[in-house]
């Protein structure tokens, strides 16, 4: 039996260009309703692909640009993106960046998601970047709380920290979107703080982002169906709801 699309699953289109993106969308068909298009696709026609998937195929779109600049520039960039009628946009979680992004998105349905700490980073990476001392879960929770207080519609975090964020009073009514999700047995790649799709949902995530396990699969549709099955399992029931 073919499982229907589940909006909680966002497939990352980390492919080279529009042609490859449309080919993947054709393969996945009605099994996927939500796609992420990131910075790596920008010069490969990422905005054109976003428009095609949104306007012509009725898909939801998460534009993962992770904007970070002075407030006026962030506001202007977000205002430009907002005209495309997309669904999610990421910015860095610094409160001034979040506030500027919300100004740029004013009057639209575009959700601003704040990046906490990238799921490819561990404590050694943070030390090299001169980020203050502390355990990553504590830093993520603090950063998420401040971003949501600044007006973020939600946050991006490792699925390992989703439960901590969901427990914050500031998280009421906010979205938690978790990359760093790998099905059982999948290669971790460059991700360091990961869980399975079912565990991410159980931890309190509203959406999970899966890329390489889908588009690198010999059969992307079959890989997607396996993820959908896992997300529909009892293991994905969240005690935080």
Angstrom CA distances, 238 to 168, 197, 200, 203, stand at: 16, 12, 9, 6
Q: What region, left, alpha or beta, does residue 89 occupy, with left being phi > 0 and alpha being psi -120 to 50 degrees?
A: beta
Hey, which residues does 90 pair with through a beta bridge? 113
Q: Rounded CA gap, 173 and 196, in Å?
A: 24
Cβ atoms of 37 and 46 within 8 Å: the answer is yes
Q: Rounded CA gap, 6 and 207, in Å?
A: 10
In the set 66, 99, 174, 192, the catalytic residue is 66
Q: Based on the residue annotation, tell me whether 66 is a catalytic residue of this protein.
A: yes
Q: Rounded CA gap, 118 and 215, in Å?
A: 21
Q: Rounded CA gap, 158 and 124, in Å?
A: 17
Cβ atoms of 114 and 156 within 8 Å: the answer is yes
Q: Could you give the residue numbers annotated as active site?
A: 66
């Amino acid at each position: 039996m073919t499982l229907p699309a589940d909006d909680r699953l966002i497939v990352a289109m980390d492919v080279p260009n529009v042609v490859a993106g449309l080919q993947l969308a054709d393969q996945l068909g009605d099994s996927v309703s939500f796609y992420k298009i990131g910075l790596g696709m920008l010069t490969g026609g990422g905005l054109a692909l976003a428009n095609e998937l949104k306007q012509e195929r009725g898909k939801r779109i998460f534009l993962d640009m992770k904007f970070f600049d002075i407030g006026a520039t962030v506001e202007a960039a977000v205002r430009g993106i907002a005209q495309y009628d997309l669904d999610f946009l990421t910015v860095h979680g610094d409160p001034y960046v979040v506030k500027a992004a919300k100004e740029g998105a004013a009057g639209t349905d575009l959700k601003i998601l704040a990046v906490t700490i990238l799921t490819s980073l561990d404590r050694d990476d943070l030390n090299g970047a001169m980020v203050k001392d502390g355990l990553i879960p504590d830093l993520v929770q603090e950063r998420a709380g401040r971003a949501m207080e600044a007006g973020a519609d939600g946050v991006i975090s490792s699925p390992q920290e989703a439960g901590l964020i969901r427990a914050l009073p500031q998280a009421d009514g906010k979205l938690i979107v978790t990359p760093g999700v790998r099905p059982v047995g999948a290669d971790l790649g460059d991700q360091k703080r990961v869980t399975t799709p079912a565990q991410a949902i159980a931890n309190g995530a509203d959406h999970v982002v899966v890329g390489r396990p889908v588009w690198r699969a010999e059969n992307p549709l079959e890989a997607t169906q396996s993820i959908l099955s896992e997300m529909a399992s009892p293991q994905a029931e969240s005690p935080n709801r």
